[in-house]
Structure 1
Amino acid sequence: MSATHEVFNQVEPLVDVNLFDNNRALQSALKFNAPGLGTSGFSALGAQVGSADMQQHARLANVFTPQLKSHSRFGRRIDQVEFHPSYHALMSAATAAGLHGTPFAADEQASGHAHVKRGASFMLFTELEPSILCPISMTYAVTPALRDNPAIYRDWAPGLTSRAYDPALNPFTEKSGLTMGMGMTEKQGGSDVRANTTQAVPAGSDGWGQRFTVTGHKWFFSAPMCDAFLILAQTPAGLSCLFLPRVLPDGSLNKLYIQRLKDKLGNKANASSEVEFAGATAWLVGEEGRGVPQILAMGTMTRLDCALGTSGLMRQALSIALNHTTQRSAFGKKLIDQPLMKNVLADLALESEAATALALRLARSFDRSHDAHEQAMQRLLTPVAKFWICKRGSHFAQEAMECLGGNGYVEEGGEGIMARIYREMPVNSIWEGAGNIMALDLLRALRKADAAAALAHELAPARGLHPALDHLAQSLPTRVEQMANEMEARRLAQDVALAVQAALLAQTAPPAVFGAFCESRLAGHWGHSFGSLGAGTDVDAIIARAQPR
């Protein structure tokens, strides 16, 4: 067959690039939050996650999604989820990078920057594939919580902090690496876990402490092939936190039955399920009847990951948009040379850098939890960062997709990644508490006496650098102290986020980035969509800083 046309003006995909070496925003945030940490490890990870081979694994893990195998071919109940080999390749890379429980290993803790290091790596890996990071994130959050049962922590911590990945469904003593999940929500309650009905009946005690027999269900039980889970169940003393392994110490399968896998908008490579417990065995973690405070403590860490993950997705979407517009021509010149496209790209770059700065600043508070100011900022910034960064994610992804036009909307090829990003964005906003839950958490944080003072201290380094930031910074302490109306909580979360982002950019970003952020987000020289920066904005400098190549 003869050729009908020549293929030209198409874009080479963004593959085999180092996702760290040209990420100047992440490098600046790292230098600010963990000075002296060094970048060689990040550069190696950046090369790995930017490679064509690993991006192919990400594509395959999302195309060939997890499959539930409830029974063997002989009719026996097995309750296993089958994954494509690319899923396991991604999980192996994530654990080797120390993104799960590794920050709690003694040698990592000694560095003083374990959580910042892990946070930056988490963002880089998200640019490769975010959905497999669900069990990774839960393992990160659960590992320190197990300290409330010293016997279990003693036995399980080595496997949870190991950099090995072992997907076999075996007793923990036979595995080189372990992962953990969580099971909190039920059909009737969702985020209102106090409405849970799952019952746990005392069943004696052993070397792991008080043992219970659990009967009930979980409506959203993510990553059911993890080695164990922390769940909430009603015990005689009230809602309690329990440790429930998939394989019991004697080698038998626990009575955890997977009913079905969730058919989700995105997050396709990860298996989320509905399960029932029919006399499953679990052990008490912490004080009986105090399950909710324990879950909230773990939620703080997974909410950090929501902010980190969305920041990583923003950077990935921005990089793909920049890669496309740099190569693609329209109306006589490259897209990136069109004034309106420059405005959009620069605006997206501002949003991405501000998200990176805020997310990694929050990670720093976990490294310095002994410090009173950092404790206060962790309470304040966790709901703020989770709310604002994740809320901006879907809008960001849609605008970045629009930079590619129809090429961004299709699911195949290198640019089909953009569609996957768009479908992934909402999960971080919804998971671990949607916007209203975060706003209410902010109100609870503000009831601490040091909240206003801590915020003023955080903003002080940027005082006098921009009038709009000064005006907002002066108003916030009073609003924080007087905030009592739930109706205004979302607006306050937004304004705290913007003020802290601006103060961070003042200390980490070039004047062009800081000035444009303040003029647009704080001074009102901005519309209601991306691409409405003022005519005097140095868009070329902002875009040059954000380029991925």
Structure 2
Amino acid sequence: MTQWQKAEQFLATTHEVLNQPPALENYNLFHADLALQEAVQRGHANWAEPDIAAMGALAGQADTIALGFQANAHRPQFQSHDRFGHRVDLVEYHDAYHQLMQIATAHGLHASPWAKPQLGAHVARAAQYYMHTQVEAAHGCPITMTFAAVPALQHQPDIAKQWLPKLLAPSYDPRNVPDQQKQAVTIGMAMTEKQGGSDVRANTTRAYAVGTEGPGQLYELVGHKWFVSAPMCDAFLVLAQTKHGLSCFLMPRWRPDGTKNPLQIQRLKDKMGNVANASSEAELRGAMGWMIGEEGRGVRTIIEMVAMTRYDCMIGSSAGMRQATVQALHHCQHRAAFGAQLIDQPLMQNVLADLALESEAALALTMRMATALDQRDNEHEQALARIVVPAGKYWICKRTPEHAYEAMEVIGGSGVMENCIMPRLYREAPINAIWEGSGNVQCLDALRAVERQPESYAALQAELLQVKGANKALDKAIAELPKRLAQAQAQPFFARQWVEHMARTMQAALLQQHAPNAVADAFCQSRLGEVSHMGYGRLTDATAAKTILRRAWPHE
């Protein structure tokens, strides 16, 4: 053998792949998530466990995971006109997007608690949505809007009677045809305008009665909408001004006679994340819409819808945290450095356990709100949801970007490559914090709840008193909450401090009630203690960290 042949033989060994983790696929997300299993049980959704486990298996399949990558690699494409010059306002999606939509609707993520109401229905949906969203988040936008539209449409029974059967159907029809030709429809929202954003009372779009005025009647809408997400939905809930003030309308993409409703898309938004779903700017040029609810009370009509979309933001951000956590854990179980597996190295254990801790706390708060939504006739539960949903939406969504970054850093260089899910999770992370009302909007809404519905704060206090004496740091945080509220009420300048404190305290209380001591006490020490922190990798109990890791990832 020549020297060159020997060298070539040696070089060939560098092509052998060593010390690289296998792809995280073909596993059951539900069976690998003890905290989720426990939340389903205490949320009275054990009757749905076969369906939840089936979704867990489906979400973990390699083919399903691939759909998420494909849907994001092929962005939606907009065609304003067809080749003959006809206005079509058509947005075309990759087939992977449609397959994900089909999975979501077939499992009732868009409507199951309304279609089959029973105790635990919202918990069962939340559990399935939590796992499905870990595959791909962007297509969840029309799923969430369709789900949230039901309470708004119920303000107008005659319109609801026409639309709800197709909205509740467990199927998906992506065809660009009038809703009269479909058995299943999706609903979107077109609320904000460029001059107002979250301040929808600044909207300038006008609604003109075609004949008789008032609820259920037909109007023509003239104006613009700055953010129309999922513009291929079959109809949209729209806010527009009448002579009696801001009102809510249902605006279909097609008129009853089968002609195109003049909702004209101007362009698609060029977003940094959430790219599998189209978001657009549109002009309404006499588009037909039917008034939903009382004239001049449009915000009141959609307020429950907004609460539902904000709640789904909690699910989505919690799901992002979970997927980031398991990607980091899986990587560290299969990667060695400096003479040991990463997951066995003490400092890495601290970081991983802290990531898992944040993820479980987010899930606990999210699933507690699902339980509240399941008890719509319970005054305490509804009052609790009124204050905790905006606080939870604020805090969980706010924590997700840093969480995604930290998990990406755990994985290292390969974690920033586009063939890894981590860049997508990182780009997706800020979306929910901004959509459906940014952080300041949520904090002011929580203050408004205390002012207008004081029973909401009373419900929160009653909830926290259940764990009095469980942990000294938690007791101190509960005692401090009224002082923080008084400060925020006197000076809204401090509203974020109050809401953050409230959300962390509520998370700690839930973990004290339902999680192992190692999890609950570590959260209280690190998030509420004298030296509380907001970064990762600063836990103080190494034994507890190992317990947290075993709980977070029993899959392997």
- 1:83-118: CA deviation from partner (whole Å, max 9, x where unpaired): 11111100000001111123211xx21x22221111
**CA 1:525–1:29 in 2, change beyond 3 Å: closer, same or farther?**
farther
How far apart, CA to CA, are the structure 2 residues paired with 1:270 and 1:205? 37
Q: Say whether the 8 Å CA contact 2:332–2:341 is kept in structure 1.
A: yes
Q: Which amino acid aligns with 2:229?
A: S
How far apart, CA to CA, are the structure 1 residues paired with 2:449 and 2:540? 36
Superposed, which structure 2 residues align to 1:400-415 within 5 Å?
Answer: 400-412=407-419
**1:462 matched to which residue of 2?**
467
**2:317 matched to which residue of 1?**
310
Residue 33 of structure 1 deviates from its aligned partner by 2.2
**CA 1:352–1:528 in 2, change beyond 3 Å: closer, same or farther?**
closer
* Residue of structure 2 aligned with 1:266, choices 263, 273, 279: 273
How far apart, CA to CA, are the structure 2 residues paired with 1:152 and 1:438? 31
* Residue of structure 2 aligned with 1:419, choices 418, 423, 433: 423
Residue 456 of structure 1 deviates from its aligned partner by 1.9
**2:3 matched to which residue of 1?**
none
Residue 475 of structure 1 deviates from its aligned partner by 2.5
**2:374 matched to which residue of 1?**
367
* Residue of structure 2 aligned with 1:76, choices 86, 90, 107: 86
Task: Give yes or no for the alignment of 1:341 onto 2:348.
Answer: yes
**1:397 matched to which residue of 2?**
404
Residue 465 of structure 1 deviates from its aligned partner by 1.1
Superposed, which structure 2 residues align to 1:13-32 within 5 Å?
Answer: 13-32=23-42
Q: Say whether the 8 Å CA contact 1:526–1:532 is kept in structure 2.
A: no
Residue 526 of structure 1 deviates from its aligned partner by 4.3
**CA 1:45–1:36 in 2, change beyond 3 Å: closer, same or farther?**
closer
**CA 1:334–1:116 in 2, change beyond 3 Å: closer, same or farther?**
same
Residue 483 of structure 1 deviates from its aligned partner by 4.2
**1:543 matched to which residue of 2?**
549
Q: Say whether the 8 Å CA contact 1:516–1:537 is kept in structure 2.
A: no
* Residue of structure 1 aligned with 2:53, choices 39, 43, 52: 43
How far apart, CA to CA, are the structure 1 residues paired with 2:534 and 2:499? 18
Q: Which amino acid aligns with 2:505?
A: A
**CA 1:58–1:357 in 2, change beyond 3 Å: closer, same or farther?**
same
**1:66 matched to which residue of 2?**
76
- 1:196-245: CA deviation from partner (whole Å, max 9, x where unpaired): 11111111159993111111110100000000000011112111101100
CA RMSD of superposed structures (Å): 1.6
**CA 1:332–1:487 in 2, change beyond 3 Å: closer, same or farther?**
same
Task: Give yes or no for the alignment of 1:300 onto 2:293.
Answer: no
Task: Give yes or no for the alignment of 1:524 onto 2:534.
Answer: no
How far apart, CA to CA, are the structure 2 residues paired with 1:390 and 1:153? 32
What is the percentage of aligned positions where both structures have the same residue? Answer: 50
Q: Say whether the 8 Å CA contact 1:452–1:477 is kept in structure 2.
A: no
**CA 1:324–1:545 in 2, change beyond 3 Å: closer, same or farther?**
same
**2:194 matched to which residue of 1?**
187
**CA 1:208–1:446 in 2, change beyond 3 Å: closer, same or farther?**
closer
Task: Give yes or no for the alignment of 1:505 onto 2:515.
Answer: no
**CA 1:445–1:465 in 2, change beyond 3 Å: closer, same or farther?**
same
Q: Which amino acid aligns with 1:75?
A: G
**1:11 matched to which residue of 2?**
21
How far apart, CA to CA, are the structure 2 residues paired with 1:126 and 1:35? 19
* Residue of structure 2 aligned with 1:121, choices 122, 128, 143: 128
**2:241 matched to which residue of 1?**
234
Range moving further from structure 2, 332-341 or 168-177? 168-177
How far apart, CA to CA, are the structure 1 residues paired with 2:483 and 2:195? 39
Q: Tell me, what secondary structure is at the counterpart of 2:293?
A: coil
- 1:360-391: CA deviation from partner (whole Å, max 9, x where unpaired): 11121111121111121011101110000000
How far apart, CA to CA, are the structure 2 residues paired with 1:64 and 1:536? 44
Task: Give yes or no for the alignment of 1:439 onto 2:476.
Answer: no
Task: Give yes or no for the alignment of 1:514 onto 2:520.
Answer: yes
Q: Say whether the 8 Å CA contact 1:104–1:144 is kept in structure 2.
A: no
Q: Tell me, what secondary structure is at the counterpart of 1:37?
A: helix
Structure 1 unaligned spans of 5+: none
Residue 528 of structure 1 deviates from its aligned partner by 4.4
**1:94 matched to which residue of 2?**
104
Residue 461 of structure 1 deviates from its aligned partner by 2.4
Superposed, which structure 2 residues align to 1:133-282 within 5 Å?
Answer: 133-205=140-212, 209-282=216-289
TM-score w.r.t. structure 1 length? 0.96
Residue 499 of structure 1 deviates from its aligned partner by 1.1
Q: Which amino acid aligns with 1:354?
A: A
**CA 1:548–1:36 in 2, change beyond 3 Å: closer, same or farther?**
closer
Range moving further from structure 2, 490-499 or 31-40? 31-40
Q: Which amino acid aligns with 1:423?
A: R
How far apart, CA to CA, are the structure 1 residues paired with 2:429 and 2:442? 17
* Residue of structure 2 aligned with 1:429, choices 433, 438, 441: 433
Q: Tell me, what secondary structure is at the counterpart of 2:217?
A: strand
How far apart, CA to CA, are the structure 1 residues paired with 2:359 and 2:192? 32
**1:474 matched to which residue of 2?**
479
Q: Say whether the 8 Å CA contact 1:451–1:480 is kept in structure 2.
A: no
Q: Say whether the 8 Å CA contact 1:452–1:480 is kept in structure 2.
A: no
Structure 2 unaligned spans of 5+: 1-7
How far apart, CA to CA, are the structure 1 residues paired with 2:553 and 2:520? 17
Q: Which amino acid aligns with 1:402?
A: E
Q: Say whether the 8 Å CA contact 1:455–1:477 is kept in structure 2.
A: no
Residue 537 of structure 1 deviates from its aligned partner by 5.0
Q: Tell me, what secondary structure is at the counterpart of 1:264?
A: coil
How far apart, CA to CA, are the structure 2 residues paired with 1:451 and 1:88? 40
Q: Say whether the 8 Å CA contact 1:183–1:222 is kept in structure 2.
A: yes
Q: Say whether the 8 Å CA contact 2:215–2:293 is kept in structure 1.
A: no
Task: Give yes or no for the alignment of 1:351 onto 2:358.
Answer: yes
Residue 524 of structure 1 deviates from its aligned partner by 3.2
Task: Give yes or no for the alignment of 1:534 onto 2:544.
Answer: no
Q: Say whether the 8 Å CA contact 1:71–1:79 is kept in structure 2.
A: yes
Range moving further from structure 2, 26-35 or 332-341? 26-35
Q: Say whether the 8 Å CA contact 2:294–2:301 is kept in structure 1.
A: no
Residue 474 of structure 1 deviates from its aligned partner by 2.1
How far apart, CA to CA, are the structure 2 residues paired with 1:301 and 1:103? 12
